């Protein structure tokens, strides 16, 4: 049993933190009075306390209490007892390193397989895939493994960007980077554009939001997938 929201981003242009998702989250966490927040990704180097406070302010709008995982003496045990869980964005390398260091990675997977509601944004979405290898982040620390939760049968590339027509940027596009990944790896990669998310209910995976997503498979042309498409059989 799985009950997940896997979002490309926490914030879309013109709206506050998590604002675009709050109506969805109110229903998603309806049976949870308290949600444990995993602040390990620390975007911009923000402290665990400051990051948790930012999240708490957003969740207060839907009458949910946020408690930072960093405040527990035994974080793995706290995850196993959680009513709901949110992993925020930031640096995926740092997040994964801390999840392994604290013993939370395995506890998180086993807990989420029981149906505890989960929200992941950006780095918190990266870790729901098979590996973290399609993150956009700099390798600022060295995790013991790139293997992540494997709650969906593919990798995720959050914040997916299309080439801008007429741009003078000479660097690699996101599609180029994913092609580099597929030179050595076989699993599909789903490029999630800003404002899009996946809804996972048991084994059903549905693309949500108003934008299409871009699906990459090794040695195949990319596909555009429209909202409400069922990704359950993607492998």
Alpha-helical regions (H) of the chain: 22-28, 48-59, 75-80, 92-101, 104-112, 123-126, 174-182
Distances (CA, A) of 147 to 95, 100, 184: 12, 10, 15
pLDDT of residue 58: 98
Task: Work out the percent of the chain whose per-residue pLDDT is above 90.
Answer: 93
Catalytic one of 8, 70, 137, 182: 137
Catalytic one of 48, 159, 212, 232: 159
Q: Which fold has domain 3-225?
A: Rossmann fold (3.40.50)
Residues 176-187 as b or e (16 or more Cβ within 10 Å = b): eebeebbeebeb
pLDDT of residue 63: 97
| Residue 169 pLDDT greater than 80, yes or no | no
Contact 5, 24 (CB under 8 A): yes
Distances (CA, A) of 198 to 52, 186, 206, 208, 235: 24, 21, 6, 6, 16
137 in active site: yes
Task: Work out the percent of the chain whose per-residue pLDDT is above 70.
Answer: 98
Distances (CA, A) of 208 to 11, 226, 229: 16, 9, 8
Count of Cβ atoms closer than 10 Å to residue 70 Cβ: 18
Cα 222 from chain centroid (whole Å): 21
122 in active site: yes
Contact 124, 103 (CB under 8 A): no
Catalytic one of 8, 10, 122, 125: 122
Length of the chain equals 235
pTM higher than the cut 0.75: yes
| Residue 33 pLDDT greater than 90, yes or no | yes
């Amino acid at each position: 049993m799985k009950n997940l929201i896997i979002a490309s981003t926490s914030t879309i242009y013109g709206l506050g933190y998590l604002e675009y998702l709050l109506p969805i989250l109110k229903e998603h966490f309806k049976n949870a009075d308290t949600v444990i927040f995993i602040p390990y990704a620390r975007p911009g180097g923000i402290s665990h306390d400051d990051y948790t406070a930012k999240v708490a302010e957003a969740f207060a709008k839907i009458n949910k209490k946020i408690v930072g995982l960093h405040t527990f003496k035994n974080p793995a045990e706290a995850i196993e007892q959680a009513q709901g869980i949110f992993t925020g964005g930031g640096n995926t390398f740092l997040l994964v390193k801390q999840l392994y260091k604290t013993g939370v990675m395995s506890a998180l997977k086993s807990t989420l397989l029981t149906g505890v509601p989960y929200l992941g944004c950006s780095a918190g979405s990266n870790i729901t895939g098979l590996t973290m290898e399609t993150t956009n982040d700099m390798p600022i620390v060295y995790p013991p493994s790139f293997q992540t939760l494997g709650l969906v049968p593919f990798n995720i590339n959050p914040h997916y960007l299309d080439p801008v027509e007429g741009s003078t940027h000479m660097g690699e596009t996101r599609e180029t980077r994913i092609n580099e990944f597929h030179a050595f790896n076989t699993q599909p990669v789903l490029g999630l554009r800003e404002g899009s998310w996946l809804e996972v209910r048991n084994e059903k995976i549905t693309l949500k939001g108003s934008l299409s997503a871009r699906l990459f498979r090794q040695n195949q042309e990319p596909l555009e997938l429209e909202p409400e498409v069922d990704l359950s059989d993607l492998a």
